[in-house]
Every structure is written in structure tokens, then in C-alpha cells.
Structure 1
Amino acid sequence: MRIGQNPENNKKIVSEDVYHHIIVPVYVPRLDDYFKDSYKITRLCIGSINATRHYKSKLTIVNNGSCDEITSYLNGLYASGFIDQLIHHKTNKGKIDAVIPVAKQATEALITITDGDVLFKPGWMDAVERVYVNFPKAGMVSPVPHGTLYNHFTAHTLYDAFFRGLLKFQKLCDPEAMLLFAKSIDKETTMYAKSIRLQYQLTLRKKNANAIVGCGHFVATLRKEVFKKTPKVMSHWAYSSSADRDYIDIPNEKSGFWRLATPENYAYHMGNIHEEWMDEVTYKPEQKQVLHIIPKAQHNFIPYFVKKVFVRILMSRYVKPWYFKKLGLVEGYKEY
């Protein structure tokens, strides 16, 4: 039975005035063993996001069947208005299957997907968005640079930048921060076995703007158009590098976009162990909020296979040393 008129009938919904959407999957099934510090890590992650995001951003947390303590904490944040959207799953859906449906439905120009163990520094949104402003062909930008992924799903980036004369080796990144990331994923001795990659990074240089070629995906900001190219089926992986490849890396390449990172490190990968330095990252509530008008995506007209073949030749052991030396890598150009 219905009595009266629904007051919401024929009422137009006003669109949210936001252009940057942050999505964080949280999976903490218990608070012992591997997850014994996860409550602290989760609080630091979400707290740092809220302390550093601008007012034209939206925060979505996807709770992947976490324990009661974490669920209660997230509910409290939502009730207090610190979370714009909170999605609960009774069981773990995995990273990709938790975030991709949300990203596909998002209308914001930029969508940041981040693991739940990332500590953000002030200024990260400004730095990431500025890369999009300076390099409109960018489709994936991370606030964490490292010099090992310049040839990882970067065919469009390298081909386009080559013919525009934008490529250059420069000393722009903080070696200490890069080593800290390597340590956080237990690759302190292997990631930078070639120490030259700590000293020089392959970059795009455009007037007063710079960006690092390539990036990882434990935290990255993507254009919404990228998610139109993701598979239509679920991955069914709790976590897998192949899922990141199929649902993030390949779609960005299929879209014809560049893959970049900010020269300065703006986020830390905390891992599962809490350390004292994590509490020392401070935030000023009065920090200036910088907003940007994100330019529309620029599309490519050269077929992807042409770019891929060209880059494969350019990065071959016969051509790469000569080309890297030409780009300013005076030492170590043979083993970079």
C-alpha cells in the first residue's frame, strides 16, 4: 500500500562537483600474524589520504571481508563524513575485482587506485594532476617514481616522445626514497642491482616540466577512459600481477596513453610492518589546495603494432646503448 506522493518523484539529482576519485581496497581478515600491524597501517593510509586530498575529490573504500575491528573503524569514518562511499563485501573479492567495477562506473576525469598500505605525502594530488596538465597524452601517472619500468608497457610513451624529442636522462629522483620502496617489497638488493638506475632516470622534458617514463601500479592515477578497455569478465584473483597487467597495464596501452611518474616521491609503500618513521610524516591542515583543469585525452593515429615494433628495435641490445648515450647517459649506458 502507498499513501501520498513520493517527494523524490521527478526530482533531478545535482551532479557532484568533483573530478578526482580515489579507490582503496581494504583486506584485513584478522589482526595477528601477517596482519598484526594492519590496523595501524590502514589508519595511516586512509588518514593520509584525507589529510592531503583536495575538496574536489571523492574517496571510496571497498571493505573486502575485513575483521570486525576494521569494519567498525571504516563505519565510523563513513558516519563522520571522512569517506564518501563505503562498500562492504562479506568475503575477499581481491584487489582488481573490488576496484574495477567502481572505476568503470566513475564519472570523474581521474581515478586513483591505491593499495591499502600506502602513506601519502602532502602535494601528491597537485604533482600527479600537474603531469596530466603538462603531458595531456598521459593516461597513467604514479606519485612514486623508480627507474626500472621505463620499458614496461610504455610503447606509446617511448615512440611519441622519441619523435617529439622529449626524452632525456636526468638526475631527478630521490635515491633514498627509491631504496625505501625497494625495501618495502623485500627487493632491497635486487631492484637496484644496477646502481646507475638510482642515479639517472629516463624522463620526459618539456619546457619547465618533467616526468619519469614508466611507473608501477600499487598506487597510480588513471584517466577514466582507460577502464573502457578493461575485460568484461571478473579476474577471480585475490591478488596477481597478471590481473594488474590485464586490467590496468594493457588497457592503458590499448587506449594509446602515456605511462609516467612524478619526479619527486610523494607516497610510501608501508607493507605489513609498522615502523616509527611512518608516524613522523606530518600534515598541515592549512596547506594550500591546488586544483587543475584536466585536459581531454589526446588520441593516437599511429597503429599500436607499428609503435611496438619500433620501440622493440630502439630498446634492443644493439641500439639501446648508443641511443641512451645520446640521451645523456654518459656512464653505465651499456648496462642500464
Structure 2
Amino acid sequence: MPNSTTVTEFLLTGFSDVWEFRVLHTMLFLLVYLATLTGNLLIVTVIIVDQRLHTPMYFFILNLSVLDMCYISVTVPKACVIFLLNNRVISMVGCAAQIFLVVLCACTELLLLTIMARDRYVAICQPLHYHVIMTPRVCVQMTLASVLSGLVYAGVHTGNTFHLSFCHSNVVHQFFCDIPSLLKLSCSNILTNQISIFVSATIVAGGCFSFITKSYIHIFSTVLKFPTRAEHRKAFSTCIPHILIVIVFISSGAAVNLKPTSNSPLIQDMVISVFYSVVPPFLNPVIYTLRNKQIKESIWKVMRRTLTSFRKVIIISTHSYFDCKS
């Protein structure tokens, strides 16, 4: 293309150019970000501190919370800078890093949710063999396998995307860099990229969804055979939070990847991306703290212990102050 200019940096897009709305969007994103970090950090702290929660199920919940903090940190801080300071510029390297980390976190979270379904299946359907099958070594190996798979998946698609030439507009119609938005800016043939993304996403997401569905079919058929309602409630209490998180994550991801993007309005695309990149990390700690009795009890226990320690520090400081005065 003789009259084209090679793109060296991109311009991200905010929801509005009006100052008041930009401030409002910044406050909303910042509140969600802080709430997400606080909730997930609280879950991580409680699981580490409480010895009762040192089980495979809570080990995976801990990893999910750490992953959610990383996931939302990739997009929201930069979005707040865009909204508040109108600093829309992101370098080619920064855009590539953002795409890589978003895809890595999304793929790893999906694989981790699949592993958690496997954990629930073994715990409920094969309880006598649970501690033999779900050993600490196996749990660590499965977690590392999900992270390594996410690294490979993110590396392949990020490399394929930035192997293209960008010589059209450098305005990314999104508040963070994502692959569909960049493909629209490419002057190369993107058919191969679109086919590889569709096929790989169908295999990974479809395979994980099928495995999760199959696991819960066996789980529910086993739970319904339990003799008492108390056993039903105990089994469902450990499964329902995971099911809700899977529904939120997969439905939001499907809304982004399966919708027709060619003629969809800009604001619609950006709002759907919020549900994909921001809402799942925000809702995960809420769902687990509201639905999981052990985590709620541990949180109150840690909070009471912290308040008691803080009260003792104040009393000791007060006594020391008056002793010095006297």
C-alpha cells in the first residue's frame, strides 16, 4: 500500500469525551477494582491463615483469587488513566503485553474452573479415594499445567496477531487492547487468524464446558442418591458457587466471542467487554463469601482476631504514653 503509514502505537477509546462522564467512569472502575482486590485478597489471606481450609478445593479457590487480581489489574488501571487523564496512547509493546496477559488469564481461569469441577467430582462421587487422587502434588501439577497451557495459548495468538501489518487507523475501539479490535485495523489477510482463533477457542472452551457439564451430571446423579437432606445441602453448598462462577465466566466470554462484531455499535462492544474482563473477577469473591459457609466463618474469625490484636496495640500504646507522661 503506497500511501499507508506503518502503525507504531495505538490509541485506546473511552466511553465518553464529556469530562463529567469520564470522572464518573473512573470512579466506578476504581471502586470495582478496589473491591475486587480487597475481596480476593481477603479470601487468599483467610485460606492461608485458617488451617481448616488447607484442602484441595480451597487451594484452587486461592489460585482463582490470585488469578482474578491479576486479570482485572491488566485492564482497569490503564482504563482509569484513559478516562481521567484522557491519555489514550499505548505502545505496540504495551498493547502486545496487554493482549498476552488478558488471554493468559482468561484461558488459565477457564482451565482452573475445569480442574475445580474435577475436584468436586472426585470429592462427591469417589470420596474414599479423594485423598489418594487429589494429593497436594497432583493439585500443584494441575495448576501449573493450566498456567503453562495458558502461556502457550496466549503466546500463539499474540504472536499471530502482531505478525500482521497495521497500516490503517491506529484507533482501537476498545478501552483495552484485544485481538478482535486489532484485526479490524490490519491491512493484512486476517482470514487465517480468524479461523485459528475460532477453532482453538471452540476446542478449548467447548472441551472445558463439556468436561464441566459431564462432571456435574455425575455429581447431581450421585447427590440425589444421598439418604438425607443435610447431605444434599452440604454437597450442593460446595458446588453452587463454582457453578455460578462458571456460568458468569463462560456466558460473558461467549457474548464477546460469538456475537457479530462487524456492524455492532462501539458502546455495545465496550459494555460487553466490561462483562468479560471486569465482572467475573469482581463477582467471584462475592459468590464465594455469600455461598460458602466455611469461608464466611473464617473471615469473621480473622476479622475478630485482627480487631482484638488492634485493640491490644491501642491499649498498650495508651498505657505506654501515660507511663511516659508520669
Category of TM-score, reference length = shorter chain: under 0.3
TM value normalised by structure 2: 0.24
Please state which structure has a larger fraction of its residues in strand: 1
TM value normalised by structure 1: 0.23
Please state which structure has a larger fraction of its residues in helix: 2
Larger Rg computed on CA atoms = 2
